[in-house]
Amino acid sequence: MNGRRAAVTRARDLCRIAAADSPDPNAAVVLLANAVNTCFYPGDTTTGVELAHEIEALLDHVTTSTARGLGQMAAGVARILANQGGADQIRAAVALLTESGLLRDDRRRLSWLMIGPLYLRDADSGAA
């Protein structure tokens, strides 16, 4: 198990480093969203919230709906896992990503369409 955790932690760190080095806020937010995704496996809520802060700092500079939706989703999920709110961010992301169809053709990101409704407790979230 330690080997698997180390690989996940390394993947998270590589995404974070690449995001910090990226001159493109869209790419940086997508990389940080990927890093948040890796925090689920070891249950690393502390780093997840740190990453949420980094994402939120970049969202005003994001120009694509995909980056905005993934960023809002990742930040919201990280906050929910840490019991620090996040539901409004997830609702906004679900609306943006499902209405636009942005992720339906991207198999690497398709799971993000399912993650949002899993973290919300109301019956209407994620309804198409």
Structural domain boundaries enclosing 22: 2-119
Within the chain, residue ranges assigned H as helices are: 2-21, 25-39, 45-58, 65-81, 87-100, 111-119
Q: Domain total for the chain?
A: 1
Any domain includes 125:
no
Any domain includes 107:
yes
Q: What is the mean pLDDT of residues 107-123?
A: 74
Q: What is the mean pLDDT of residues 98-117?
A: 75
Any domain includes 97:
yes
CA-wise closest residue to 30 among 18, 46, 43, 42: 18
pLDDT at 1: 44
Any domain includes 51:
yes
Q: What is the mean pLDDT of residues 49-63?
A: 97
